[in-house]
């Protein structure tokens, strides 16, 4: 019995039973294509050998955990969870031109200095172009082998013979497998090539790093199953107008997720930033209306950044809400709570909110800092000097405690801040040398800081 044809959307990966001009899932036109089934099932033709089961309790005695290899680049090792793990698959995504190839070329050179045999496979550039970039970055003497190839069968054959310790594939969308009858970059090809490379990494004990393109929404292009296949998913973020780059771990089987590493793009490549809090606050001058310093936590490290707000009359009657670096839906919630619980309206006013330095903040602990910046901009009153703010705001107007308050205050004190507006009822931080202003609800916060209830 012949298998029924399957149709897949190349934009979102949704499956369809028949062809249609428009995808029902993402509403994109002319993206539904026929997907040919794989010629071999999972595990067939991959050279795998049937084994036996091993009791979990005996693993500690029979198999030692794989030893990590540190690159001696502290920011990269932090995001990886302490170093590179053998037989692991890592997926790195980011916007075009953000510096993914530069980062991974520097990483391959750093690991090669630690004794690993590294191979850099480029499907987008010729070997001479990669070598030219290496010379510009000062890596001409790095012991890294280069290959310019897109046929996965040829690549795996070469890697089987060379047996390196680290393989960088740039990028997964350019690779193609001759057993899959579709164009490179399609859903079938991306899924099949990612599966082959991940299986190869596990079978031969080689660490594989894959580069993935992103969509206009900022997600890694291709089926989401690719992110489930690999062990670690990293996003390389940053604004084109800022030199700072953030390497963020959104999935990590060998370390903490949501960990970040901060780099600065220079003429000689990416330089790691040892103290990102001081860097993000370097351009902050005298206290101004609409500015609030937030003491946040990114992964396991405390990080201070500045929220900037601007309130202006709406010239055309319809107020505008513009956000950069924060969640727009959460801004709408904070504005609604301020109007409903504290009696401070923002109707007829344009609201602009920005996180300085190109950083993206996701934790709810920034609610109180956003409210402080909005009220400061609306009342044209600057917050007290050398003050940091953190706390989560509930829909009832209460200010809720947040995790790791002690680490936040220690980081702020280290950078010279002497005052902190914090939630009331959190863990005791009395040993801190800072002057604390505990706040129980939004009404009290408005009265204490801005002198109006």
pLDDT in tens, the chain (453 residues): 445 567 888 777 788 888 888 988 888 888 888 776 544 444 444 444 455 666 666 555 555 556 889 998 999 999 999 999 999 999 999 888 899 999 999 999 999 999 999 999 999 999 999 999 999 999 988 899 999 999 999 999 999 999 999 999 998 999 999 888 888 888 889 999 999 999 999 999 999 999 998 887 777 877 788 999 999 999 998 877 778 899 999 999 998 888 999 999 998 899 998 888 888 887 777 788 999 999 999 888 899 999 999 999 988 778 999 999 999 999 999 999 999 999 999 989 999 999 988 888 989 999 999 999 999 999 999 998 899 999 999 999 999 999 999 999 999 999 989 999 999 887 655 556 789 999 999 999 998 888 754
pLDDT of residue 64: 58
Burial of 409 (0-12, 13-18, 19+ CB in 10 A): buried
Name the packing angle between helices 127-136 and 100-113 (round to 10°).
Answer: 80
**Does the annotation list 96 as a binding residue?**
yes
* Residue 46 confidence (pLDDT): 42
Task: Return the pLDDT at 167.
Answer: 96
Q: Which pLDDT belongs to residue 42? A: 42
d(CA 347, CA 12): 38
Asked if residue 97 belongs to a known ligand binding site, the reply is yes
41 known ligand binder: no
Q: What is the pLDDT of residues 396-416, one digit of tens each?
A: 999 999 999 999 999 999 998
**Residue whose pair of structure tokens reads 């402080």 in the numeric block:** 372
Quick one: pLDDT at residue 65?
59
Whether residue 162 is annotated as binding a ligand: the answer is no
Spatial distance between the Cα atoms of 276 and 304, rounded to a whole number of angstroms? 8
What are the structural domains of the chain? 1-34 (no CATH), 74-274 (3.40.50.300), 279-450 (3.30.230.10)
- Residue 419 annotated as lining a ligand binding site: no
Residue 246 known to bind ligand: no
Has 441 been labeled as part of a binding site?
Answer: no
CA quadruple 142, 145, 147, 153: dihedral, nearest 10 = -150
4 exposure class (CB count in 10 Å sphere: 0-12, 13-18, 19+): exposed
Determine whether the annotation assigns residue 101 to a binding site: yes
Please, which residues have CB within 8 angstroms of residue 145's CB and are 6 or more apart in sequence? 117, 118, 119, 120, 162, 164
Global pTM? 0.78
Output the pLDDT for position 250. Answer: 92
């Amino acid at each position: 019995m012949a298998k029924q044809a399957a149709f897949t959307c190349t934009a979102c990966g949704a499956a369809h039973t028949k062809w249609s001009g428009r995808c029902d899932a993402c509403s994109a036109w002319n993206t539904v294509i026929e997907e040919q089934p794989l010629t071999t099932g999972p595990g067939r033709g991959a050279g795998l050998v049937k084994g036996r089961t091993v009791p979990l309790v005996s693993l500690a005695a029979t198999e030692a955990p794989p030893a990590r290899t540190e690159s001696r680049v502290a920011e990269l090792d932090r995001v990886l969870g302490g170093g590179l793990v053998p037989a692991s698959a890592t997926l790195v995504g980011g916007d075009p031109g953000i510096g993914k190839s530069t980062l991974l070329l520097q990483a391959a050179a750093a690991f090669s200095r630690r004794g690993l045999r590294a191979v850099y496979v480029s499907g987008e550039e010729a070997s001479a172009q990669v070598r030219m970039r290496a010379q510009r970055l000062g890596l001409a003497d790095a012991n890294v082998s280069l290959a310019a190839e897109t046929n996965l069968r040829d690549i795996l054959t070469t890697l089987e013979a060379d047996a390196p310790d680290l393989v960088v594939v740039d990028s997964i969308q350019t690779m193609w497998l001759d057993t899959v009858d579709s164009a490179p970059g399609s859903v079938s090809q991306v899924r099949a090539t990612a599966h082959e490379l991940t299986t190869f990494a596990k079978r031969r004990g080689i660490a594989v790093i894959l580069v993935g393109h992103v969509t206009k929404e900022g997600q890694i292009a291709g089926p989401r199953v690719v992110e489930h296949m690999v062990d670690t998913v990293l996003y390389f973020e940053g604004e084109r107008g800022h030199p700072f780059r953030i390497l963020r771990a959104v999935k990590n089987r060998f370390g903490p997720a949501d960990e970040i590493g901060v780099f600065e793009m220079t003429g000689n490549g990416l330089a790691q930033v040892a103290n990102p809090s001081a860097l993000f606050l370097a351009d902050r001058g005298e206290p101004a209306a609409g500015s609030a310093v937030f003491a946040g936590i990114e992964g396991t490290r405390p990080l201070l950044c500045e929220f900037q707000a601007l309130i202006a009359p709406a010239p055309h009657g319809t107020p505008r809400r513009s956000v950069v670096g924060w969640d727009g839906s959460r801004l709408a919630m904070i504005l609604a709570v301020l109007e409903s619980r504290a009696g401070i309206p923002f109707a007829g006013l344009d609201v602009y909110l920005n996180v300085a330095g190109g950083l993206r903040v996701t934790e709810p602990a920034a609610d109180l800092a956003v409210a402080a910046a909005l009220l400061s901009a609306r009342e044209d009153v600057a917050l007290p000097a050398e003050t940091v703010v953190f706390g989560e705001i509930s829909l009832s107007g209460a200010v809720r405690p947040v995790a790791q308050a002690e680490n936040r205050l220690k980081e702020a004190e280290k950078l010279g801040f002497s005052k902190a507006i914090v939630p009331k009822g959190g863990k005791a931080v009395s040993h801190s040398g800072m002057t604390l202003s505990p706040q129980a609800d939004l009404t009290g916060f408005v009265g204490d800081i801005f002198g109006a209830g």
